[in-house]
């Protein structure tokens, strides 16, 4: 089997979290790459929905944005954006919301708005899009992003999308349906919410990654599960499917897709 890099490990690990036949509301970038890898490997019947209206999208290359024509051309049907949110998402018909983030905290809350003071930010980020609604209404949420002190922070400058709020039963008290974020998949590890506190703890380390590396790249005092697993390395088939997808995307768009 060919050697794999940390980005490939992250994408494969995230793709594996999608079950065959599940209905998945997909964000652009890393979530789209992982979701389409799942469709090309173990989950051919996964239903991919993008907020611009495509339902059952089967792109041959990764979309540059939700307005990419490839999504509509390969979808089973295309409906108005309002229907995507009101009927599908708020109607409880989305099994998985798959999101990226600029920053995340220990309770799976996401910031994609600003870095620094809101009125005089150091960085103005892309914004919310449909992420707050996806995070709020999907039956469960997966988050994928590269891990580092800038991305895994103790306190968010702005909460764009609510995960588990302040922890514990805060999400329930806010009246939000669904389980909220059930996993954060990074280039180093997989984190899952601890029962009761809903604080994210490390449950699986990717091959070759140490606890010290995770600690050094987390902005809060990260904790580890009692039994930490080692993530199964990508198979040859998974790597081949991912690399083929990236090569097709690069040929079409000049980039491999999912770079954030």
At 39, which helix (H) or strand (E)? helix 30-40
Burial class, 250, CB count within 10 angstroms (exposed 0-12 / middle 13-18 / buried 19+): middle
Q: DSSP secondary-structure letter at 161?
A: B
DSSP state of 231: P
Contact 211, 201 (CB under 8 A): no
If phi > 0 it is left, if psi is from -120 to 50 it is alpha, else beta; for residue 175 that is left
Q: Are 167 and 199 in contact (CB under 8 A)?
A: yes
| Main-chain dihedrals φ then ψ at residue 154, nearest 5 degrees | -70, -35
Q: Which of 8, 51, 70, 238 is catalytic?
A: 51
Are 25 and 134 contacting, i.e. CB atoms less than 8 angstroms apart?
A: yes
**Could you confirm whether 73 is annotated as catalytic?**
no
Active site residues: 51
């Amino acid at each position: 089997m060919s050697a794999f890099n940390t980005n490939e490990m992250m994408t494969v690990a995230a793709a594996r979290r999608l079950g065959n036949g599940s209905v998945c509301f997909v964000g652009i970038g890393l979530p789209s790459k992982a979701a389409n890898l799942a469709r090309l490997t173990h989950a051919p019947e996964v239903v991919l929905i993008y907020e611009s209206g495509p339902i059952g999208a089967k792109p041959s290359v990764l979309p540059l944005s939700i307005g990419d024509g490839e999504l509509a051309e390969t979808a089973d049907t295309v409906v108005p954006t309002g229907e995507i949110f009101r009927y599908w998402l708020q109607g409880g018909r989305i099994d998985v919301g798959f999101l990226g983030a600029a920053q995340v905290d220990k309770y799976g809350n996401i910031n994609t708005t600003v870095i620094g003071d809101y009125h005089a930010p150091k960085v103005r980020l892309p914004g919310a899009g449909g992420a707050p609604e996806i995070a709020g209404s999907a039956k469960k949420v997966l988050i994928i992003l590269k891990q580092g002190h800038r991305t895994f922070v103790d306190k968010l400058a702005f909460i764009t999308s609510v995960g588990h709020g302040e922890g514990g039963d805060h999400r329930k008290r806010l009246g939000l349906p669904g389980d909220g974020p059930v996993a954060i998949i990074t280039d180093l590890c997989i984190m899952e919410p601890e029962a009761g506190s809903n604080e994210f703890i490390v449950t699986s380390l990717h091959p070759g990654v140490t606890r010290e590396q995770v600690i050094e790249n987390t902005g809060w005092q990260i904790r580890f599960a009692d039994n930490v697993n080692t993530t199964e390395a990508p198979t040859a088939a998974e790597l081949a499917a991912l690399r083929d997808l990236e090569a097709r995307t690069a040929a079409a768009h000049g980039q491999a897709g999912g770079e954030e």
